[in-house]
Amino acid sequence: MVENFHVQFPGLGLQFDISNVAFQVGDRNIYWYGLIIAAGMLLAMLYAWRTAPRYNVQTSKLFNCVIVGVITGIIGARLYYCAFAWEEYASNPISILYIHEGGLAIYGGIIGALAGGLLIAKLQKMKFLPILDITMISFLIGQGIGRWGNFMNQEAFGTATDLPWRMFSENTYIDGAHVAVHPCFLYESLWCLLSFVVLHFFGKYRQRYAGQIFYGYLVLYGFERMIVEGLRTDSLYLPFQIFGMQVRVSQVLSAALFAIGIIMLIINLKKEDPFYANYRRKKGISRSKGKRKKAH
């Protein structure tokens, strides 16, 4: 269904007219959401292949992991969403297959992609931690870009606010009131892209062992999602209460990932794998100065 929105950021003096449909092929609509998600995935894959040697991973084997991971990631994103929104599908379970109607969860996508990709890695006798390093930093590209699909659909926004960057459109209703809201898609997009930059340069100049980037991802993304999820109005909730309160699934999972990341970084504080220092030396990259040395 074609939806058009007049989006405003009143405090910034910005306004846009957008549509959730990019173009049509015959009588079929091609939606911005799908195109943006696909673009994010493509850029993430290109980055993974380009940086694979830095993590001592063969690109040909990585390709197999990625192909399977994309498929299982889509399946995981859909099943995760449906599992925690079962009341929407209980009366008509076949509607779980109607993925074109929306209903995907990023954590389900990550879990599904890792399950499929790591299974192929195991079959190819690949080490898991380097794969996780490449995968998670690449995910940040896909997540940072993909959230703009939510903007084009005017979804995944937060509670009412009067902050200067508040967002207002035909979709920003909360409890029947038409209000300006937190642009949560923007918060997550900016945080993911910033986290990508941080981990990219850390991996290039400072990484000491396999898994360090993965643990960094758990800390950075877990922290951000734990905070931003508390602002959203479309969260999935656990099917039971904790201390008499409804608890958001993603907040619980984010808090757990954040804690695990911190613990693993502390446990491995003094760990060092010579491969990473040797790789930088061969490429003429100085760990101490963060610059490429000139050959003499």
Percent of the chain with pLDDT over 90: 68
What number of residues does the chain have?
296
Q: Model pTM greater than 0.85?
A: yes
Q: Point out which residues pair with 237 in neighbouring strands.
A: 248
Only one residue has tokens 């980055």, namely 47
Reported as type and span, the H/E element at residue 76 is helix 59-84
Nearest Cα to 143, choosing from 256, 225, 76?
225
The alpha helices in 124-238, defined as continuous H runs, are: 128-153, 184-205, 212-229
Amino acid letter, residue 291: K
Q: Which two tokens mark 262? A: 């911190």
Residue 184 and residue 166 in contact, taking contact as beta carbons nearer than 8 Å: no
**Is pLDDT above 80 for 295?**
no
Mean pLDDT of the chain: 90
Determine which of 48-52, 91-95, 174-178, 187-191 has the lowest per-residue pLDDT on average. 91-95
Question: Using CA atoms, how far apart are residues 96 and 184, in angstroms rounded to an integer?
Answer: 26
CB 81 within 8 A of CB 106: no
Average pLDDT over residues 111-130: 94
- Cβ neighbours of residue 6 closer than 8 Å, sequence gap 6 or more: 15, 16, 17, 169, 170
